[in-house]
Structure 1
Amino acid sequence: MFLFRRRGADSARAVRAFYRSFIEQNAPEVRARRLLREWLSPDQRAQFDAKGYFEVTGSHTGRRYRIHYGTVSNVLELDDEMQPNTGWCFVPERALVAGDVMLAQKIALETDEAAVLAIANRVSMRPPSRPQVVRRAY
């Protein structure tokens, strides 16, 4: 391990900053998001960075799906005008962070769309909403 001489608050602050940086870069959600980005095509990555979702093509039907950031009810089937047509909900059996769920959804739709849709639940066609801040007047 490291041996430090007592040199004051600057050394301790530097060690804390290094540790905090290491923890932030290796948190489960950060690692999952990094892995997801590695699996996305350049176009999907640009779309995800700009809009918070990316689109994939189903392996059997060629339908387009939009995968929004999230873990449930975040997959929308698009019609010919690229508008949401049907919502789908399917997730891995164990609880995972959003990036890992989205990667599993992407791979599932691109490799075995028919099997995925056979077990998926239809959901509302509205895209997932972002939480809104409620402000109270006092």
Structure 2
Amino acid sequence: MQVLDRASWLFARCTAWWQAARRTREKLRQEALQRAHAEQRALALLLGLLNPEQRREFQAHGYFHVIGGSTGDRYRIRLDSAVNIDVLGEHGIVRYHLCARPTGSLPMYDVMAGQLLHLQDSSAEVRFLSQANRHVTLSFAAMGRWQER
């Protein structure tokens, strides 16, 4: 009798574990579907905000250019999770990089749309730049001079 009780208990435990694993898998699958749907909506929004030239550029290269609404500076916003804004100087040379994104787990396309809207708006650009983290870049020429020393 004790063997049957032990077997029943073991069977019940295995069944409970299997059901919990199945619920967890289903929850993860639903979350992945929701994230994918949010990414699709965010991409549609971003593409709707871009002008035809920016849209072509983004679809071909994964980035687009924006002219600052207040400063007139030229920015390149790249599809990247961090430090994805290049501030361009003469001849398209990167002067420095910016990192500015909201907290939380937003779809990357929503982050890019927010960056686009802030940079091209004359009143929001200056505020955006004051809050963004600035990362220096070294040109190949500057790196060569540094290595010679």
TM-score of the superposition, structure 2-length normalised? Answer: 0.64
- Tell me, yes or no, if structure 1 residue 125 matches structure 2 residue 137: yes
Deviating above 4 A after TM superposition, structure 1's stretches of 4 or more consecutive aligned residues are none
Q: Secondary structure at the match of 2:91?
A: coil
Q: Secondary structure at the match of 1:72?
A: coil
Measure how far apart 1:124 and its partner are. 4.5
Choose which of 27, 39, 42 in structure 2 pairs with 1:32: 42
Aligned to 1:90: 100
Q: Distance in 1 between matches of 2:115 and 2:81?
A: 10
Which consecutive unaligned segments of at least 5 residues does structure 1 have?
A: 1-22, 127-138
**Contact 2:100–2:132 under 8 Å retained in 1:** yes
1:46-92 C-alpha deviation (Å, 9 max, x unpaired): 00011110000111110000000023210000001112111001112
Choose which of 127, 135, 139 in structure 2 pairs with 1:115: 127
Q: Secondary structure at the match of 1:33?
A: helix
Measure how far apart 1:29 and its partner are. 1.0
Q: Distance in 1 between matches of 2:59 and 2:86?
A: 18
One-letter amino acid matched to 1:64: R
Q: Which has the higher helix share?
A: 2
One-letter amino acid matched to 1:116: F
TM-score of the superposition, structure 1-length normalised? Answer: 0.69
Q: How many percent of aligned residue pairs carry the same amino acid?
A: 36
Aligned to 1:67: 77
Point out the structure with max Rg over C-alpha. Answer: 2
**Contact 1:70–1:102 under 8 Å retained in 2:** no
Q: Secondary structure at the match of 2:105?
A: coil
One-letter amino acid matched to 2:41: R
One-letter amino acid matched to 1:100: D
Q: CA RMSD in A?
A: 1.8
One-letter amino acid matched to 1:118: S
Q: Distance in 1 between matches of 2:91 and 2:112?
A: 24
Q: Distance in 1 between matches of 2:51 and 2:114?
A: 15
Q: Secondary structure at the match of 1:27?
A: helix
Q: How many residues align?
A: 103
